[in-house]
């Protein structure tokens, strides 16, 4: 664990920084709050923040998207740019082009950039997985990457250090991955320690999904997560908060508001902050009118936010994108079939605040109202 870190050379860093022409794309002046509606956005809310996942390329290309981000967001989370595989595609290559562009955009417009995501089983580069699987793995392989990524962005206020560590299918409730297999369950605490060395003041968080519904799986996940957080704190690991992804799903049955509330209380009781990090809503039934679908989505978001924001330790809400066009959520084929949608028709999941033409939908108002109605503790 205490293995010496080899620092990256200057040339390696510069190669990454200069790789993408995104600085140019993002260097234009953009008026703040210039949406046609003239409505006040969600930026600068007094008690909680609002933000969105973002990609520098899309902000550069899409003026309406950029304007919405500037009107509504006080922070952005890199949607895909800050994955280990994207940053370090080979052992000796560092690619920060897209991420640097987002950081420049954020700094220029006074937005925070959140750190997402450092260790996630789905984004460990192939070369690192191969190396770790050889046995007798050296932590410096992970430490070197964490040091490079974290120290490059000293103004990031919160780092998602370990993403999605829970898997209740396994006896110990932790997801198997190359990092788990190489270092055991200790990898989570080791990663927190490592990141703290390079980010002395940032909030360090564990980020998790499927915690909201009244079913045995979500219940088991909440319970296991509470035990994980307690364990890390009892070991003295530098953990500051929990990220609740909040990928809501209209096919998962009733939301368990009571259980969410009790879960949040338990987490707060440990002295941790809570952040809603990836809010969106998956649709299942495409038969109703668009207006009716939008209502269902907005109501589900509001149900969640009402219970989450009632807890003062929930510091803010980030949606996993602004517009349905570009959402990672795409309708399941089976749901489309069951809804009688013709095969091949392009149907978007309408689970984000803006539609594909960047018109705000009822979900936008639901989030704005929920945030605006928060009272001071
Ligand atoms: O850019 C390449 C393209 O060149 C290639 O042709 C194509 C072929 O698959 O892949 C493209 O990359 C994809 C990338 O998104 C850009 O669209 C990756 O395959 C795809 O895996 C990647 O998915 C992202 C995923 O994280 C993994 O990084 C999603 O957009 C992103 O929304 C998703 O976000 C995650 C959070 O980080 C963690 N929580 C769950 C959430 C949803 O999965």
Q: What tens digit of pLDDT does each residue of 11-44 get?
A: 444 444 433 445 554 555 444 444 444 568 999 7
Which pLDDT does position 118 carry in this prediction? 98
Average pLDDT of every residue of the chain: 91
Q: How far apart are CA 165 and CA 177, in angstroms?
A: 9
For the segment 296-322, the average pLDDT, to the nearest whole number, is 98
DSSP state of 186: G
Top pLDDT among 343 and 74 is at: 74
pLDDT > 70? residue 362: yes
Helix (H) or strand (E) holding 79: none
Lowest mean pLDDT among 18-27, 105-114, 208-217, 220-229: 18-27
What percent of the chain stands above pLDDT 70? Answer: 89
Q: How far apart are CA 101 and CA 27, in angstroms?
A: 9
Q: Which atom of ligand 1 is nearest to the CA of 320?
A: 32
CA distance between the termini of the chain: 41
Q: How far apart are CA 300 and CA 55, in angstroms?
A: 26
Q: How far apart are CA 110 and CA 130, in angstroms?
A: 40
Check: CB of residue 207 under 8 Å from CB of residue 163. Answer: yes
Provide the pLDDT confidence category of residue 154 given band limits of 50, 70 and 90.
very high
User: Whole-prediction pTM value?
Assistant: 0.92
Q: Which atom of ligand 1 is nearest to the CA of 80?
A: 28
For the segment 84-98, the average pLDDT, to the nearest whole number, is 96
Q: How far is the CA of 328 from the centre of ligand 1 (A)?
A: 7
State whether the beta carbon of 210 lies less than 6 angstroms from ligand 1: no
Atom 42 of ligand 1 has which residue's CA nearest to it?
328
Atom 11 of ligand 1 has which residue's CA nearest to it?
80
Task: Ligand 1 pocket test: pick from 328, 329, 330, 351 the residue with the most ligand atoms within 8 Å of its Cβ.
Answer: 328
Helix (H) or strand (E) holding 98: helix 97-108
Q: How far is the CA of 94 from the centre of ligand 1 (A)?
A: 19
Give 334: exposed, middle or buried? Use CB within 10 Å, 0-12, 13-18, 19+.
exposed
């Amino acid at each position: 664990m205490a293995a010496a870190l080899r620092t990256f050379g200057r040339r390696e860093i510069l190669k990454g920084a200069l790789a993408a022409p995104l600085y140019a794309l993002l260097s234009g002046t953009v008026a703040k709050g210039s949406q046609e509606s003239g409505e006040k956005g969600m930026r600068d809310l007094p008690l909680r923040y609002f933000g969105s996942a973002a990609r520098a390329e899309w902000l550069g290309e899409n003026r309406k998207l950029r304007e919405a981000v500037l009107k509504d967001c006080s922070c952005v989370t890199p949607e895909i740019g800050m994955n280990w595989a994207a940053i370090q595609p080979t052992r000796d290559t560092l690619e920060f082009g897209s991420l640097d562009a987002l950081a420049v955009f954020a700094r220029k417009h006074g937005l925070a950039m959140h750190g997402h995501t450092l260790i996630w089983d789905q984004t460990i580069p192939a070369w690192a997985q191969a190396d770790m699987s050889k046995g007798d793995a050296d932590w410096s392989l992970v430490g070197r990457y964490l040091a490079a990524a974290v120290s490059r962005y000293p103004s990031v206020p919160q780092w998602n250090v370990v993403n999605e560590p829970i898997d209740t299918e396994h006896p110990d409730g932790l997801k198997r991955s190359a990092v788990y297999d190489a270092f055991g369950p200790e990898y989570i605490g080791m990663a927190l320690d490592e990141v703290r060395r390079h980010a002395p003041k940032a909030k360090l968080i564990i980020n998790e999904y499927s915690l909201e519904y009244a079913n045995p799986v979500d219940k088991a996940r909440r319970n296991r997560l509470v035990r994980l957080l307690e364990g890390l704190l009892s070991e003295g690991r530098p953990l500051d908060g929990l990220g609740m992804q909040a990928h809501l799903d209209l096919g998962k049955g009733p939301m368990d508001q009571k259980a969410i509330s009790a879960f949040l209380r338990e987490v707060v009781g440990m002295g941790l902050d809570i952040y809603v990090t990836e809010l969106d809503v998956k649709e299942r039934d495409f038969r109703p009118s668009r207006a009716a679908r939008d209502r269902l989505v907005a109501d589900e978001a509001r149900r969640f936010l009402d219970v989450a924001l009632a807890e003062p330790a929930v510091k803010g809400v980030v949606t996993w994108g602004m517009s349905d066009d570009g959402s990672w959520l795409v309708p399941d084929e089976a749901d489309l079939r069951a809804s009688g949608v013709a095969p091949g028709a392009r149907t978007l999941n309408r689970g984000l605040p803006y539609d594909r033409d960047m018109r705000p939908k009822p979900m936008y108002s639901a989030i704005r109202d929920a945030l605006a109605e928060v009272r001071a503790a």
